[in-house]
Amino acid sequence: MKIFLSAFACGLVFGVGLVISGMTLPSKVIGFLDIAGDWDPALAFVMVGAIGVHALTRQWVLKRSVPVLAPQFPEPPPTAIDGRLLGGAATFGLGWGLAGFCPGPAIVSTLTGEAAAPVFVVTMILGMVIAQQTLSAPAEQASTGGQGQ
């Protein structure tokens, strides 16, 4: 229950921050991406602020021998830059640029009544399911030697 409440509190703070900063508005994101037109730097300031808070908090947290709500700190993620990473980043950026949403703000916007947000969230989830099925199929075939189960 402590983990659930902690995750809920973090998500709530994140969502409130998105609303206060205006980052749930697709026009803010599109304005940031419009570097050749009427550029809006607000998203850059939000990112720099978030990175600063994260950097300071991370240093403080890593002084502990173990996390508060877990038995150990997770292993760092892989750092290899490969086709899967580049393809995912390009797809994410394309969706972000076309819709003006990324996952967090889209979920918050769904709750605040932005009309396009539910469509984005549903298609985002559908894309995740398709990607998971597509990417896990070759791994399953390799582990069974191409044989069905």
pLDDT in tens, 51-80: 999 999 999 998 998 888 888 888 888 888
Report d(CA 101, CA 6) in Å as an integer.
Answer: 25
Q: What is the pLDDT of residues 111-133, one digit of tens each?
A: 888 888 899 999 999 988 988 88
12, 6 contact by CB (below 8 A): no
Residue 146 confidence (pLDDT) = 56
Measured between alpha carbons, how far is 16 from 53 in angstroms, rounded to an integer?
16
pLDDT for 101:
86
